[in-house]
Amino acid sequence: MVPPALLSGRILAAWSILHVLSIDIAAGAAASGAMAAAVAGVEMRLGWWILLPLSVWVIYTADHLLDGWKAGSAAVNPRHSFHFRHMRILSMCALCAAILCAGLAFFAIREVVLAGGVILICVCALHLALARWDKFKLGKEFSVAAIYTAGVWFGPLLASRAALFYPYVFLSIFLLAAVLNLVMSSVMDAEMDEKEGMTYLLRFISPARAGRLVQAGSVIGVLLGALLAAFMFVQSPGKPQLWLAAAVLAVLCAAPGLILRFAHLGSPLYRIAGEGVFLLGFVPWLSAR
């Protein structure tokens, strides 16, 4: 039997590799996309299932490469340092993945989804260009959350032919959860980001105040998710994926506040929880199978 301490160390070591390479975020995007498809009541094509996590990985990798290039050898953030040291090979991988994404978008995705994808690519390009321009210091946490949410939800929503309002309520709470998660990460990495000059939102408000806002937002998100879950349970008893998705959204909103509340205990497991919680998106999707 493997000792708990050794097992925990192995888990953390494996996760650190996935985290540095943003594979955990890509997996979370696939799970979130599954939840969005379950809420919209659509079956997405195989190409979309490949394109969603792969395109998220390309965007995040490009962003980390840019940050690593800006920080250079002085990078203290593990992601930025890793991307700076392996810039050539990661740039080649990201370029090849981007070409594959373009091919999938043109040959395997519905036309309406392709149109949304083109718009999203333009928004991503604008975001990266503004991030490159040091004079523009808008809270990057909000733009990344908006891009992530749009990438996850626009495909299922555009593919759905039903004129329903409630999927957009789910989307709104998901956006809140994404913002809370990213601001939480900024608060946790405040020291490293300040050393690299990579602070955005925290240039305008203190980490302590940002932490309090995250905890308040978590409470609001949990209440909204719980109310939505109760409404869907009563309104659509034959569709458990809807109230389960709302419950997952409540958990997604709760996680950042809880992590900041207990992060002072010093356990690195909060990092796994912060990104791993998004994998719960597979639960409502599986319930609809």
Residues 148-161: pLDDT tens digits? 898 889 888 888 87
Return d(Cα 210, Cα 200) in angstroms, integer. 12
Helix (H, G, I), strand (E, B) or coil at 110: coil
Q: Under a CB-based contact definition with an 8 Å cutoff, are residues 121 and 102 in contact?
A: no
Return d(Cα 74, Cα 72) in angstroms, integer. 5
Three-state SS string over 221-247 comes to: HHHHHHHHHHHHHHHCCCCHHHHHHHH
pLDDT digits (tens, 9 = 90+) for 9-30: 666 777 778 888 989 899 999 9
Return d(Cα 275, Cα 15) in angstroms, integer. 10
Phi, psi of 251 (to 5 degrees): -65, -40
Q: Extract the tokens encoding 196.
A: 């690299």
Q: How many CB atoms lie within 10 A of CB 110?
A: 15
Return d(Cα 274, Cα 20) in angstroms, integer. 14
pLDDT band at 224 (very low <50, low <70, confident <90, very high): very high
